[in-house]
Amino acid sequence: VHVRDPSKESETERACFEYLDLTSRSFAAVIKELNPELLMPICLFYLALRGLDTIEDDMTLPNEKKIPLLRNFDSNMEIDGWKFTENGPNEKDRELLVNFDKVIVELKRMKPEYYAIVRDITTKMGNGMADYALNAEHNANGVNSIADYELYCHYVAGLVGDGLTRLFVESKLANPALLERPHLTESMGQFLQKTNIIRDVHEDFLDKRRFWPKEIWSKHVDNWDDLFDQTNPVFKQKALECSSEMVLNALKHADECLFYMAGIRDQSVFNFVAIPQSMAIATLELVFRNPAIFNSHIKISKGDACQLMSESTQNLRVVCDVFRRYLRRIHKKNDPRDPLYTAISLQCSKIEQFIESIFPSQ
């Protein structure tokens, strides 16, 4: 197993790992365990996108400032000495942007083949985020159609999957056939981002942001705010049914995520892609029919996270067992009074059958 030796690293390399630790909860650990060939490129890819997301998430920045920052981020990250010091004081990732000049030094030392991928995805994500920041301002109501919702998830996560897959294949750590299956890659990002959007609904509501598409929530309530009125038993019921529809929509991607992971050749890359996916299926189970998502920030327990980490660093069979376990729990929690009871039940069976077809249980 590869171990970093900070004494052999440059000052800017050490700084990058410091910002990685500062800005990520779960990604820092898995990135630091990556195959040495991809360790620094993926650390820098992460920091570039984390920089963009810090700007996107900063609700103290007016759109007149935010939009050009998002659209120009790819060119700014090529300017020696560029950094961003205007961030709101309570922005937790401020440190990264204030010291972004150090990240730029390391971006310039990357292999050109890898840098081209990072730059391409940064350009596309920055422009996609800018389109949505603009949209949210003009509609005060966020995302409307399911297609818009999936396009947003494409910009902030599907594209990350695309860039990562190109890095894995370029470094020969994944089967090049994955490049011919962009739909599988897209599902990897969509599954993570949709789970994040379902779980963070209350946090985003407090920030006056809405990512749940109107096409879904308007079937359950007339006003978005009603979902958060947990004192009214009718709204409480409707909110749960609405969240069921969001969970069902996310579950559409689960089988393709498992299929994608079969194309990974390197153990460290497998761990890197599998851990977030296992955390996502466990999070979906936690949020499913859980009214707490509408008034608090919920997370899977430390103990469950530890178990998921050890199970996701073995092989695809064990990860399939993890998916099976959580799908069964979702199946059990499903309530016959839920209008989507049958659809959810069928979707769980469909994924379980897919798993059964690749890894028969005895």
155 is catalytic: no
Exactly one of 94, 119, 166, 209 is catalytic; which is it? 209
Contact yes or no for 126/52 (Cβ under 8 A): yes
Q: How far apart are CA 162 and CA 145, in angstroms?
A: 24
In the region spanning residues 78 to 117, those forming contacts with ligand PS7, defined by CB under 6 A, are: none
Residue (93 or 338) nearer to Mn ion, CB = 93
Give the pair of three-digit tokens for residue 336: 């016959």
Segment interacting with ligand PS7, rule: CB under 6 A, options 49-57, 76-84, 213-221, 231-239: 49-57
* Piece of 78-86, 131-139, 192-200, 298-306 that binds ligand PS7 (CB under 6 A): 192-200
The residue within the footprint of ligand PS7, chosen from 34, 38, 49, 264 (CB under 6 A), is 49
Q: Under rule CB under 6 A, how many of the chain's residues touch ligand PS7?
A: 23
Question: CB–CB of 165/139 below 8 Å?
Answer: no
Q: Does 200 bind ligand PS7 (CB under 6 A)?
A: yes
* Complex with ligand PS7: residue 205 or 343, whichever CB lies closer: 205
Shortest CB 157 distance to ligand PS7, Å: 4
Report the partner that residue 351 touches, choosing among ligand PS7, Mn ion, none (CB closer than 5 to 8 A by kind).
none
Q: Is residue 38 within 8 Å of 173, Cβ to Cβ?
A: yes
185 contact, one of ligand PS7, Mn ion, none, CB 5-8 Å limit per kind: ligand PS7
Verify whether residue 272 is a known catalytic residue: yes
- Please give the residues from 35 up to 94 whose contact with Mn ion meets the rule CB under 5 A: 53, 56-57
Q: Are 168 and 38 in contact (CB under 8 A)?
A: yes
Distances (CA, A) of 236 to 127, 231, 242, 294: 37, 7, 10, 9
Stretch that binds Mn ion, among 15-23, 114-122, 175-183, 189-197 (CB under 5 A): 189-197
Q: Is residue 196 part of the contact set for Mn ion (CB under 5 A)?
A: yes
Alpha helices in the chain (DSSP H): 11-23, 27-32, 36-57, 63-76, 94-98, 100-107, 112-139, 146-153, 159-170, 182-199, 201-206, 214-217, 233-251, 254-261, 267-287, 302-311, 316-333, 341-358
Partner in contact with 121, chosen from ligand PS7, Mn ion, none, beta carbon below 5 to 8 Å by kind = none
Residues 3-32, interacting with ligand PS7 (CB under 6 A): 27
State yes or no: is 181 an active-site residue: no
Q: Is residue 190 within 8 Å of residue 147, measured between CB atoms?
A: no
Closest to 74 measured CA to CA, from 129, 122, 130: 122
**Is the Cβ of residue 213 or residue 276 nearer to ligand PS7 in the bound state?**
276
Helical packing angle, 182-199 and 254-261, nearest 10°: 130
Binding string to ligand PS7 for residues 145 to 164, with x set by CB under 6 A, is what?
-----------xx--xx--x
What would the DSSP string read from start to end of 86-145? ---TT-TTHHHHHTHHHHHHHHTTS-HHHHHHHHHHHHHHHHHHHHHHHHHHHHSS---S
* Nearest to ligand PS7 of 192, 351 (CB atom): 192
Q: Of residues 34, 38, 42, 240, which one binds ligand PS7 by CB under 6 A?
A: 42
- Shortest CB 200 distance to Mn ion, Å: 4
How many chain residues are in contact with Mn ion, going by CB under 5 A? Answer: 5
Residue type, 202: H
- Residue with smaller CB distance to Mn ion, 57 or 241: 57
Give CA–CA dist 121/163, Å, rounded: 6
Structure tokens at 355: 């798993």
Cα 99 to chain centroid distance, Å, stands at 24
Site for ligand PS7 in 254-313 (CB under 6 A): 273, 276
Write out the binding residues for Mn ion, residues 252-291 only, by CB under 5 A: none
Which residues form the interface with ligand PS7 (CB under 6 A)? 27, 42, 45-46, 49-50, 53, 57, 156-157, 160-161, 164-165, 185, 188-189, 192-193, 196, 200, 273, 276
Binding site for Mn ion (CB under 5 A): 53, 56-57, 196, 200
* Residues carrying an active site annotation: 152, 199, 209, 272
